[in-house]
Structure 1
């Protein structure tokens, strides 16, 4: 029986892992999941108890700057240039260089990395247009990455250098790489819970190293079925079970609470199990510009703000630590509302009459959420969110009909799922906003404005003594 190339590469990789000192539990297997629309995955062939070792990878088998250049007696010109690049560019350069070396230690590993990617970087303009008004399109950063490639990688003199391959490698890094602590920067894993730190991909630690961890990156992710985590020590990285895993179950290492838009952008797929984490983004400047218009809030008896009045309110929002370039609406849950406190507070400040705004300058912080959620704030939010929903070319109901047909091209179907999820969030936020019943006593209704902060006579905000904490809600 002929063994296909996919299986041959898997077997070669498994042999390479053993040679590199990777220890595999006899109760796990690396399997072919192409029949379910995926590549490879790790499956339990026997029962695992919670906190049982699934596999361990020594640091010497992790692909990063230190392991590639380990043992060199002197720093080559290439190494010097690469070490001075940003971490993701340095790892991109390393993988490009190693993939061209016939004697590369990493060849069996590089051979099983995906060749076809569905990250948004590789979508055509027509495919991207199917995302409609989703703000994820503005986060792709393809042209910016190409500038980095041309400025930083081209001078390295890599053989057969081309932009398309750089995009592929950089996207693989974004999808597969981990930020790991440098050796000797973590507590020994034998000293208790503090030593078994979950490997981070948040780049919050000072001494971290962007790395590819063979086999650890073969685990798929599922928000509902996460059953393993990667722990690090000074010598090895261990994938351990976090709950009992029965024989036949797939082993998952979750990405965290990512919306499907980010799943698609970073990893090239979507999953219904992540629908709970979908968000819809409100761009602050787009929203604030509505308050200078006479037409935006017709029927609410709101007079438009001058630029000076708007600036005064933004200044106070910045002082209170609640101003941001954008705000994410989300599905409401036990621990969070659909509309974030910071957005609610910003709208409250914008809608305050000028006398109340002046009083708030010298106050001890913002009111509680229940007082921020005035009836008119809710009405304004409904208008803002409805306008946001109208930016999409199709309705939520039309998208549901499209998906129900089941015959959409793969990328189009994923785009529809993303935009449908965002519209569902917008509907949930509208529903929440309609429940606001707080008093409108301090709101600038019926032309109630005293023009504080108007024009050149704008009142400056005096900073109170002592530091201010972000979101100082009473």
Structure 2
């Protein structure tokens, strides 16, 4: 790492070598990371990076050499294809690349499921990880966008380099580097008086925050992901793609659930990694990946969090389970109260048009999302009540009662049955001798099953309490589900 640090400083970056040490950790703990060499106070700058030293389609000269109009025509301005090609091109340049000292330390091997064998992937059955890998989509972009562009400019992409630097395997490696290490670094807005807060992409959950300079007020930007709202706006798509950047040194920091003690801030000309709380000598310096569930940590970064849970046991407090609307529809259709298929389709189409979700998120709060209950009730409404709801553009209230218990219990049991093993089996498989990929997969599916089991138990208790109440037994339970809505549309 000494050579990299020397390169970093020669390029005009600042590194506090007296405060920060870079050491190796086991793969299960994130690999290489940073530790405090002395007690570091809150608000201390650990290192800073000139914006020009980040790698993006803005800072790399390839798009200009290729021709910006030709770059767009080849669709290299959309998604990550352009940045992947820039990384390939700079790597092929070897020591003549501006970023050679950084590219030399980037990993060429990943423990993410993108590179697992089919046998290992079977361990993730029941989770949403495999279907979100996007391997086929990536391969299509490689064949339909990147390769034609490369072959069209032999002056830029030497033919003898094609089988070395521009292979599908290298494409996946570069894509994984971006997925696991990139930041969103928005273009500086000269029209603003203050500093802008940068958003995060779905690809990278590492945050870049407003300037930490208290003398200059920051101007917060919208943090909600509205990427689907302007699908036809090419300019917005271009801007979002060019915001994705590789940030030398900043990507060395590891992350763990709610452990962050440093954060990347941006200013007009540079980015700064600044402590957000005091750090003791020997403690690891943590960034944040956004407190993601283990399924996403594994998919993006190749590791999982296995911490003490407030409810007992170990896992990731940020874990969630996805329930697809199709599973609920299947459970409803087996009841006598179910409407005909064509009528159900009409209601589902209306639900989606009104902004309803097709995937519901459950977590360790063990509360059903009210909108999930509302969706079930929509499928059970009488024709008259359905017509009223449609006329008023108002979905049913989320009161949990009657047959809803049976439908929701059936739904969660169907979801639990999608995993090939039981909770007890998974716990028994978690030994020190278990291979890392298998162990991580077990931890992912175990956390999801614990959530499903906890909600199932709660539903059964509530159903039994309602039965006693109906029979005239006194109960203090109030009807309905509690807790905040945990529903969002899953973007893949």
Is 2:338 the partner of 1:329? no
For residues 135-284 of structure 1, the aligned pairs below 5 Å read 135-155=128-148, 156-157=150-151, 158=157, 159=161, 160=163, 161-184=166-189, 187-188=194-195, 189=211, 190=213, 192=215, 194-195=217-218, 207-208=239-240, 209-273=243-307, 275-284=316-325
User: Unpaired segments of 5 or more residues in structure 1?
Assistant: 1-9, 441-469
**Offset of 1:342 from its aligned partner?**
1.7
Alignment-derived partner of residue 437 in structure 2: 411
1:398 paired to 2:425 = yes
Q: Which moved more, 1:303-312 or 1:112-121?
A: 303-312
| 1:207-237 Cα deviation digits (max 9, x unpaired) | 4521100000000001132111111111010
Q: 1:290 and 2:331 equivalent?
A: yes
8 A Cα contact 1:178 1:201, kept in partner: no
Quick one: distance in 2 between partners of 1:93 and 1:78?
14
The answer to whether the 8 Å contact 2:19/2:46 transfers is yes
Equivalent position SS for 1:54: strand
**1:281 Cα shift?**
1.5
SS in 1 for 2:284: coil
- Whether the 8 Å contact between 1:63 and 1:213 is mirrored in structure 2 is yes
Match of 2:65 among 67, 73, 76: 76
Q: Find the aligned partners of 2:45 and 2:302 in 1 and give their Cα distance.
A: 29
Query: 1:99 touches 1:110 (CA, 8 Å); kept in 2?
Result: yes
Please, what TM-score do these two structures have when normalized by structure 1? Answer: 0.80
With the length of structure 2 as denominator, give the TM-score of the two structures: 0.77
Shift of 1:434: 3.1
Q: Is the Cα–Cα contact under 8 Å of residues 261 and 276 in structure 2 kept in the other structure?
A: yes
Alignment pair present for 1:358 and 2:384:
no
CA contact (8 A) 1:179 1:200 kept: no
Range moving further from structure 2, 37-46 or 415-424? 37-46
CA distance in 1: counterparts of 2:381 and 2:225, whole angstroms: 38
- The equivalent residue for 2:113 is 120
| 2:320 and 2:363 in contact (8 A); partners too | yes
What is the aligned partner in structure 2 of residue 52 from structure 1? 44
Moved more, 340-349 or 80-89: 80-89
C-alpha separation in 1, matches of 2:301 and 2:27: 17
> Aligned partners of 1:173 and 1:201: how far apart in 2?
21
Larger radius of gyration: 1
List runs of 5+ in structure 2 lacking aligned partners.
Answer: 152-156, 196-210, 228-234, 308-314, 468-486
The offset of 1:26, in angstroms, is 4.1
Partner of residue 29 from structure 1, selected from 20, 25, 40 = 20
CA contact (8 A) 1:344 1:373 kept: yes
CA contact (8 A) 1:178 1:211 kept: yes
Structure-2 residue corresponding to 1:448: none
Taking only aligned residues, the RMSD between alpha carbons, in angstroms, comes to 3.0
Separation in 1 of the partners of 2:112 and 2:267?
A: 32
The 1:35/1:389 distance shift into structure 2, 3 A limit, reads: closer
Aligned partners of 1:196 and 1:233 also within 8 Å: no
- Report the Cα distance in structure 1 between the residues aligned to 2:457 and 2:283, rounded to whole angstroms: 39
Q: Tell me how far 1:356 sits from its aligned partner.
A: 3.1
Measure how far apart 1:362 and its partner are: 4.1
Number of residue pairs matched? 415
CA contact (8 A) 2:188 2:268 kept: yes
Determine the structure 2 residue equivalent to 1:339: 368
1:290 shift after superposition:
3.4
* 1:36/1:88 CA distance change after superposition, 3 Å: closer
Mapped contact 2:264–2:273 kept (Cα < 8 A)? yes
